[in-house]
Every structure is written in structure tokens, then in C-alpha cells.
């Protein structure tokens, strides 16, 4: 059989697809889009063991999808660049367009928590300028410290009930988290409404806000 001279090119393409063939690694890719994090933080966020997380991250780093930084005793990982974030967003969009099952799964998950339409970025920007809303970041605090939407309060979803008194009264609350496939903001909105507080979730999350070139703030 004649060897196609282009095989070596497609083998390199396959390095990327092989690295993304694991749901665990895809989950970590999604978490890496939040900003640089330690292996321990990523393991907790992804629900994986530390050893398994380290192994999966090394695979992502080997094909240059993730970048590693060592500051003993910690090891930090981040996406290798904004082009990787754009690729991840494009992959998500392709899956949503081509796989009807994905749309049904997401709709079922979100509808069970939040049946109302989310708020768009443009509407949020307009209402923030007039001071009509309170913006709440419900991600874990390390992700908030790494970067967040300016003016957002950090109230991780598991602390929401204990910190209700810190939310200014009389304004609608807009909650955001890691993106359109993260359920933290939907859970936060459901909890707030159950306590009589007007709340809505942002249609996407921090990575999409950052990718759009909108202002950022770091703690």
C-alpha cells in the first residue's frame, strides 16, 4: 500500500483530537478557561482525584492546549492562549448545532432549575450603567480572585444562604458562573427566588465575557 505523504500532517491533527477524546479532559478544558488554577483547585472543580487531574492535565499540556507553571510546592495550569479558548467555544457551538441530544440535555438540566430566560450581556451592561442590578459571581472564590466582571460581588453558591444580608435590597440580582453549561448560576437563582429575591442568570459566563474583550477585574 502506498503511503500518503500527508499522513504525518493528519497525525498531528489527531494529537489534538486524541487529547480531547476524554470527557474528563474536556471538563478540565472548560475549567481552564476560567483562568490559571492549581491542580488542587482544578481537581475540586472537576470532581476528580488530584492524581487523575494531574495525569489528564499533562496530556493537554503535551499537545499545547494547556500551559504549566511551577511555583513549588504548587503547580499551576492555564489554557495555552486565547486561541485555545476560541477553539473550545467553537467546539461547544459545533456540538450544540450538530447534536440535538446535547440541546435536550442542557434544556432539561436548566429548565429544572431556572425556567426563565437568562439576561444577555448587552442588557446586563445597560442595566449596570444605570445601577439597576446587583451582579453576583457564584463561582468558587479562587476563580473570582483570578478574574471577574467589574463590580460583581463574590458569593459562592454554597455560601449564598448565609450571606443573603450582604446583597443590597431592592434591586434585581444577576448571577453568573463559568459559562452556559455551568449550573451554579441556575442553582443560585432558584435559591434566591425561593427567598423572595428577584433574580436572573446571565446567559453565559466569565470566559465568554473575557473572550468578548469586555472589562475585567482581578482581586
Say if residues 219 and 148 touch (Cβ distance below 8 Å). yes
**Identified catalytic residue from 33, 63, 177, 182:** 177
CA proximity to 177, closest of 204, 145, 195, 153: 204
Q: From residue 1, give the alpha-carbon distance in Å to each of 4, 6, 12.
A: 9, 14, 21
Helices and strands (DSSP H and E) totals, the chain: 10, 7
The answer to whether residue 182 is catalytic is no
Q: From residue 92, give the alpha-carbon distance in Å to each of 22, 102, 103.
A: 14, 10, 11
Helix (H, G, I), strand (E, B) or coil at 29: helix
- Residues that are catalytic: 177
Amino acid at each position: 500500500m502506498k503511503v500518503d505523504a500527508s499522513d504525518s500532517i493528519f497525525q498531528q491533527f489527531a494529537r489534538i483530537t486524541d487529547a480531547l477524546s476524554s470527557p474528563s479532559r474536556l471538563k478540565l478544558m472548560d475549567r481552564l478557561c476560567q483562568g490559571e488554577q492549581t491542580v488542587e483547585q482544578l481537581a475540586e472543580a472537576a470532581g476528580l482525584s488530584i492524581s487523575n487531574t494531574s495525569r489528564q492535565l499533562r496530556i493537554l499540556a503535551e499537545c499545547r492546549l494547556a500551559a504549566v507553571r511551577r511555583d513549588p510546592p504548587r503547580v499551576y495550569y492555564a489554557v495555552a492562549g486565547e486561541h485555545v479558548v476560541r477553539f473550545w467555544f467553537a467546539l461547544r457551538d459545533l456540538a450544540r448545532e450538530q447534536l440535538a441530544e446535547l440541546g435536550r440535555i442542557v434544556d432539561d438540566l436548566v429548565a429544572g432549575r431556572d425556567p426563565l430566560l437568562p439576561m444577555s450581556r448587552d442588557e446586563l451592561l445597560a442595566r449596570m450603567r444605570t445601577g439597576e442590578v446587583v451582579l453576583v459571581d457564584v463561582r468558587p472564590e479562587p476563580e473570582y480572585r483570578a478574574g471577574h466582571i467589574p463590580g460583581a460581588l463574590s458569593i459562592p453558591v454554597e455560601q449564598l444562604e448565609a450571606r443573603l444580608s450582604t446583597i443590597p435590597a431592592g434591586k434585581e440580582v444577576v448571577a453568573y458562573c463559568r459559562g452556559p453549561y455551568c449550573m451554579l448560576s441556575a442553582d443560585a437563582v432558584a435559591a434566591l427566588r425561593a427567598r423572595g429575591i428577584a433574580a436572573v442568570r446571565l446567559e453565559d459566563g466569565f470566559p465568554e465575557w473575557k473572550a468578548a474583550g469586555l472589562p475585567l477585574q482581578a482581586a
